[in-house]
Amino acid sequence: MCFHQWLIFIVNIKMITRSKSMYSDNNHGRTAIGMVKFQKKGEKPLKKMKTIQLPRLPNELSKQTFQPSENPYYARCVFESDSIKNITMPSIYFQQVKFKQIHFENISFPNIDLMDVVFDHCDLSNIDFSGGRMHRVQFINCKMLGANFSETTLENVAIDTCQAGLSSYGFSRFKQIGFRDSFLENSDFYECQFKNVHFQECQLNGANFSNTPLNNIDLSTNRFERLTVTWNTLNGCTVSNEQAIGFSKLLGLKIKE
């Protein structure tokens, strides 16, 4: 890459001062608003981030025990305080389901289909959800170490206060996704498609964003010392002043105090 291209990248980085998160109780608490950005005096106002629709669950869910079958379909139920172990089952379908304090162990659900599903205080470490589809799904205080979401389509998904280091999302498509206050160290976002994706107060150290366009992605509130990125996909990425200096140093530029 020539030095001229590097300069274009630096010019196109947006810098902001601070941000905070807000949640709306619209739609019976099922709509979340991501970050609201604050600009310096005289700056042009930035556009509001689009809302993330959270799962739509009925007031009452029947309690069930997970029993695999040949054509599994689960709807309008809750799994609570249980362990689900040693199951491989492609194309399983869950709709309007809540998992609460469930420990998943040695689970492979490739091509899973999730709609209006909540995972609350679950252990999904090393689970295989590759090739799946997720719409209006929420992960709350979950362990997701090494979880495999590669080649997955995710829309209106919220990952909130989760331990998701070493998780894999390579070749996935993201639309209206929120990562908040989560540990994503050494996670893999290789060659993903991002649309309205928000990272807020996350630990991103060592994350891999190679070949993933980061235009309109805000990294300013997140923590990292190193990232793997492709330089020509960084145009339009929002970073803090301190992060911008770090990126400049990676380019070999000397910063004068």
CATH code for the domain in which residue 10 is found: 2.160.20.80
pLDDT in tens, 154-166: 999 999 999 999 9
pLDDT in tens, 81-106: 999 999 999 989 999 999 999 999 99
In this prediction, residue 225 has a pLDDT band, given cuts at 50, 70 and 90, of confident
Is 256 contained in some domain? no
Is 12 contained in some domain? yes
- Does pLDDT of 40 surpass 70? no
Task: State which residues form the domain around 206.
Answer: 3-39+46-59+72-250
Is 227 contained in some domain? yes
- Does pLDDT of 77 surpass 70? yes
Whether 211 contacts 231, CB under 8 Å: no
- Does pLDDT of 5 surpass 70? no
- Does pLDDT of 108 surpass 60? yes
Whether 235 contacts 225, CB under 8 Å: no
What is the structure's pLDDT at 49?
55
Q: Which residue has the tokens 């993933």?
A: 212
The residue among 49 and 245 whose pLDDT is bigger is 245
- Does pLDDT of 54 surpass 70? yes
Stretch 181-193: mean pLDDT: 98
- Does pLDDT of 209 surpass 90? yes
This model's pTM is above 0.95: no
Tally the domains of the chain.
Answer: 1
Residue 159: count other Cβ atoms within 10 Å of its Cβ: 24
Is 65 contained in some domain? no
Is 107 contained in some domain? yes
Is 111 contained in some domain? yes
Is 26 contained in some domain? yes
The residue among 85 and 42 whose pLDDT is bigger is 85
- Does pLDDT of 6 surpass 70? no
The sign of the torsion formed by the CA atoms of 224, 225, 227, 230 equals positive
- Does pLDDT of 64 surpass 80? yes
| Average pLDDT across the chain, whole number | 83
What is the structure's pLDDT at 190?
98
Report H helices in the chain.
Answer: 3-12, 26-29, 241-250
